[in-house]
Structure 1
Amino acid sequence: MAASATAQTSVDPDAELLARVARGDAAAVRALVGRKLPRIHSLAYRLLGDAAEAEDVAQETMLRAWRQAGGWRPGSARFDTWLHRVALNLCYDRLRRRREIVTETPPEQVDPAPSPERSLETLDVGVRVARALDQLPARQREAIILCHYQDLGNIEAAAAMEVSVEALESLLGRGRRALRTALASQDEG
């Protein structure tokens, strides 16, 4: 039995932490939130472009993780993959609701960069990339965000998107080409 528990932990690095969360260990809850919340918030922010909505999605995702901790059974997907899938679904729910409300201007974004020159340069690049990402089809954008901004490997990203690795690689290839084209057209315009 001990070897089985060790094998499960090596397959899913969060298995032991989840077991502690399920037992009501407050330190484990803090550790889980500390470990996962920043990445989930970053994912939500990149998909939604709104800090308040990203916070809501991240909090709801962590709440669901806490509720599911007792029933989590390591198997076909790692906990981290499941957590990203939950966050993606919550983001897409919000994006679907947005379609019903037309807004003409995006919300203002605060740039916390220390240097004014650097912040202008970073802002310009970030705005250009965000505009180009917004032009991509949703699945291509999702693949690029998971692999390049969330640092998920192809296998994890494919599992989070519920597609094969080959389909993910195809989405990434098409997304990268479309991103290059969109950035080049910004340079021309």
Structure 2
Amino acid sequence: MPLDAMTDVSDEALLVLFANGDQMAARALTLRFTPKVMAHAYRLLGNHAEAEDVTQESMLRLWKIAPDWRQGEAKISTWLYRVVANLCTDRLRRKPGLALDAVPEPEDNAPGVTERIQDHTREVALQKALNQLPERQRQAVVLRHIEGLTNPEIAAIMEISTEAVESLTARGKRTLAAKLAGQRNELGYSDD
């Protein structure tokens, strides 16, 4: 089946096709999930190179489990986000004190220099504020407000109740708002 024809094929069907030797299905799944996994890992780690490593390891784990995947038990995306979160947690515990300032920011594709500088300043401020949150709050906030997942999906990924997700995201948002409140003008936000 050509790659273009696989855009409407479900994630589980693609994984089954891959498990049966279909390399185009693997490519379709890779194209579908790698950007999401990479973005999630970067938000949790604040380091592009480490996020790439976590992304690669997560996708390798998906390929290894493909033949044994039990359909209907979990969504592939939920499983992948959980794997990414666990790998990031392991890395964060091994490397305490990773300084965000020591990590170069990825290039931004925004057209104007002023916009790129403003976006960069906002990204750095957000990442610094995220890095100051407790690990579980950071993970819940990133999954909910950056990745756009629902509370039940986050609950499945983090293996906690939906109420716990709501509590973590509410506390995380309050803490982020407090940490970023004094930077409104510097970040280019006004009350207009």
Which residue in 1 is equivalent to 2:87?
A: 90
Change (3 A) 1:102 1:60: closer
In the alignment, is the contact (CA less than 8 A) between 2:46 and 2:100 conserved in 1?
Answer: no
Q: What is the CA distance between 1:148 and its match in structure 2?
A: 1.4
% identity of equivalent residues = 47
Is 68-77 or 116-125 further displaced after alignment?
68-77
In the alignment, is the contact (CA less than 8 A) between 1:135 and 1:182 conserved in 2?
Answer: no
Q: What is the CA distance between 1:185 and its match in structure 2?
A: 4.0
Deviations 1:50-89 (A, max 9, x none): 1111111101100100110111112442121011100111
Which residue in 2 is equivalent to 1:108?
A: 104
Change (3 A) 1:84 1:102: closer
Aligned-residue CA RMSD (Å)? 2.0
SS in 2 for 1:114: coil
More helix by share: 1
In the alignment, is the contact (CA less than 8 A) between 1:158 and 1:168 conserved in 2?
Answer: yes
Structure 1's unaligned 5+ residue stretches are 1-12
In the alignment, is the contact (CA less than 8 A) between 1:44 and 1:87 conserved in 2?
Answer: yes
Write the distance in 1 (CA, Å) between the matches of 2:77 and 2:115.
34
SS in 2 for 1:77: coil
Deviations 1:102-133 (A, max 9, x none): 66952122432331110111112112211211
Write the distance in 1 (CA, Å) between the matches of 2:19 and 2:168.
37
SS in 2 for 1:179: helix
Which residue in 1 is equivalent to 2:180?
A: 183
* TM-score w.r.t. length of structure 2: 0.85
Q: How many residues align?
A: 176
Which residue in 2 is equivalent to 1:10?
A: none
Runs of 4+ aligned residues of structure 1 deviating over 2 Å after TM superposition are: 74-77, 101-106, 110-114, 185-189
Structure 2's unaligned 5+ residue stretches are 1-9, 187-192
2:145 to 141, 145, 148: 148
